[in-house]
Amino acid sequence: MKENDFFVFVIVILISITIIPANPTIQLIKGKNNISFDFAPNLYASDLVKAYPEIISISYIENGKSLGYVNVFGGIGKDFPIQGNESYEIIVSKNITLILRK
């Protein structure tokens, strides 16, 4: 490979890395975590619980009432869509990193 070819190859790789955004991640620590998503990840609470069995429960406030989905017996409670710009309380049994796809 000539020096110019190598330079072009490196530039193409750098542009590719810049253009292709990484999947967003959210760090959760053992216990209660209050988080919000800056985008709608197109997931339901049950999807998160299935993907991350360390999640004990996910809840949010709707019309002044706390609604939640609990990870027992295959999941109980209201299975709700995860919305962008909504606050959620997620309780986990150990530290985990959520990897989300936009």
Confidence of residue 94 (pLDDT cuts 50, 70, 90): very high
Cα–Cα distance, 92 to 4 (Å, whole number): 51
Confidence of residue 93 (pLDDT cuts 50, 70, 90): very high
Closest CA to 68 of 82, 46, 60: 60
Question: Does an H or E element contain 20, and which?
Answer: none
Contacts of 27 (CB under 8 A, 6+ apart): 95, 96, 97, 98
Contact 51, 28 (CB under 8 A): no
Contacts of 89 (CB under 8 A, 6+ apart): 32, 33, 34, 57, 58, 59, 60
Give the global pTM. 0.75
Q: What share of the chain in percent tops pLDDT 90?
A: 54
